[in-house]
Amino acid sequence: MSKTTRIIEVKDLARVEGEGALHVTLKGDVIEHLEFSIHEPPRYFEALLQGRSFREAPDITARICGICPVAYMMGASQAMEDALGITVGGPLRALRRLVYCGEWIESHVLHIYMLHAPDFLGFEDSIQLAAKMPAVVEKALRLKKLGNTLLETVGGGRAIHPINLTVGGFYKLPTKAAIKGLAEELKWAIEASLDTIRLVSTFDFPPIERDYTFVAMRHEDEYAITEGRLISNRGLDIPVQAFHDHFEERHERRSNALHSVLKNGGEYLVGPLARYALNHDKLSPLAQAEAKAAGLGKVVRNPFQSIVVRAVETLQVCEDALRIVENYEEPDDSCITVTPGAGTGSGCTEAPRGICHHTYSLDAEGRITKATIVPPTSQNQGSIEGDLWDVVKANLKRPDAELQWICEQAVRNYDPCISCATHFLKLNIERG
């Protein structure tokens, strides 16, 4: 057996949000070292929140990410509502799901077409894709624009860092006419989503499957996005308030992002594959039928097929959004009255990349004394490295350039939001 040393190194991953790197060392056919590292500088959001009013948390946490700000705004809002004993229901809850549908559409479509499809189609980037397949890219941009329009309509005129969401509801209600005016474009979007599923299902997927521990939210009445219990395929079934009883974050020296693991040991997977496996029965009949026609079973363990699952989820939220729009009635008030007080609360929603968990403690005046935010990419780092081990082992005979390409593609399966993962870094100072 050859003992030649090969090093596969990607100093800055392309077509991901944020700054990450990949390093693989091979000695013959043996993997000596493999790591996926995040060198995005820490951003200290949890420290920034301390001493702030509970009302400021949604707007501050939104700045963690420009692609999925609603995930942070809504998780923060729900945690404050949990701490203060408030429940948002009825039409306000429907509006929250509608704006979240917008975020899923714009995020999923951006990833599918601009960041991930080039890997399967042999293009270096979306610019080459647009040159060769302009009609496909034009449809993708229109679909993404619809997601932005939903965010703007409900979120206060802005698709990036919306300003209309708050603890207890919204600052201002969108008009009924503005909501109803979204219906025709959503009908087109359902057809465009069907085309997306049918396109990506034709891609050639490397034959890699892993026995993941899936973790996702589940709701008894719907495909869980804005609320639910946390479950797994290994028997976990807990309220979101019990998250830290079962999960813990660890600092790895090689990364500026904490790694979240199960306390009883081991990595776990959040995001599209986990949601799909644990909530397949909650998909609409059309989404279930299209998933089956695309060759998906009720559980998908091939990480490269996540692009197909994202396309199925895009169809699901387009259908959900249309149903909410067609049944929309203006709430009596834009927001539930909120009285400051002491307490600790948790909130969790399904960001496009997976569960995003928030826990906050408040003093008697409603000031934040402690904040803990666990974003999806920090939870998926262990699974990303696990995938990479299997991908490298299965592709050892490839030339270095090809091996590097498929390794980068394996990371992009996760649509990692690296900037989200670096909001916190534990700092210990020892003075002699």
pLDDT of 432 reads 31
Across 28-73, the runs of DSSP E, i.e. the strands, are 30-38
Q: Dump the DSSP string for 156-180.
A: TS-SSS-SSEETTEESSPPPHHHHH
pLDDT of 339 reads 95
Q: Which residues pair with 248 in a beta bridge?
A: 261
pLDDT of 42 reads 65
Across 292-432, the runs of DSSP E, i.e. the strands, are 343-351, 354-362, 368-374
pLDDT of 132 reads 94
| Structure-derived torsion over alpha carbons of residues 360, 361, 366, 369, reported in degrees to the nearest 10 | -100
Across 202-276, the runs of DSSP E, i.e. the strands, are 215-218, 229-232, 237-238, 247-251, 258-262
d(C-alpha 139, C-alpha 160), whole Å = 21
Q: Which residue has the tokens 């009285």?
A: 339
* Domain range annotation of the chain: 45-421
Enumerate residues 6+ apart whose C-beta is below 8 A from 323.
none
| Structure-derived torsion over alpha carbons of residues 71, 76, 82, 86, reported in degrees to the nearest 10 | -90
pLDDT of 417 reads 64
pLDDT in tens, 246-293: 999 877 766 666 778 899 878 999 999 999 999 999 999 999 999 999
Number of neighbours of residue 363 by Cβ within 10 angstroms: 14
- Return the closest-CA partner of residue 24 out of 14, 3, 10, 12: 10
- Return the closest-CA partner of residue 272 out of 358, 160, 383: 383
CATH 1.10.645.10 fits 45-421, yes or no: yes
Q: Which residues of the chain have pLDDT under 50?
A: 1, 15, 418-432
What are the b/e assignments for 30-68, b being 16+ CB within 10 Å?
Answer: eeeebebbbbbebbebbebbeeeebebbbbbbbebbebb
Q: Which residue has the tokens 């030339």?
A: 399
